[in-house]
Amino acid sequence: MLETNQNLPQLYRFCFLMTGDAMKAQEAFQATLREAALRSAQGEPPADRLWFFRDARWRCLVVGEEGLQPEKATLEEDELSPHAPSQVAQLHPEQLAIWISGAPEPQRSALAAYYLDEFTPREILTLLELKAGELSDALTSGRRQFQAWLNATTPAEVYEE
């Protein structure tokens, strides 16, 4: 199941990035594993690891609709910085997850898959059921908005040369 459980931590991380909340992430993660076990017991195991992430994505979207919702706002965008990886490395996982989970769909799913660093671009397209242009737009806009947020929240002296 899920390639001998090697991807279970990544599946949970994906759920956490999608929801921004440990309890909601755990709920979606466990429901996905229960569904996979049920299918396996019925002789119809999930076809591949992408099934797990697709199922978890939909469950995360459902549990993410519960409770407080982010306000709709137009976010500033900055050009991507060569220092972005070091800025992201300074964040606590919760900060990244909260930011991503507040993004609209399909941007939220695209960013979660991108920052998980688990998938090829083709796998992300399959996982999210998007066309290449839609994925590109979601990632470009999301990463630029994230860069603006990073620039506003990460001390400049840490990543300036």
Residue 2 lies in a domain: no
| CA separation for the pair 93, 145 (Å, rounded) | 18
Residue 92 lies in a domain: yes
| pLDDT of 55 strictly over 60 | yes
What CATH number did the domain enclosing 101 receive? Answer: 1.10.10
Confidence bin at 4 (pLDDT 50/70/90):
very low
Contact 49, 66 (CB under 8 A): no
Is residue 142 domain-shared with residue 102, that is, in the same domain? Answer: yes
Neighbour count for residue 52 (Cβ, 10 Å)? 24
Residue 44 lies in a domain: yes
Encode pLDDT of 97-137 as tens digits: 988 998 889 999 999 999 888 899 999 999 999 999 999 99
Domain that holds residue 41: 8-64
Per DSSP, the residues of 20-49 read S-HHHHHHHHHHHHHHHHHHHHTT---SSH
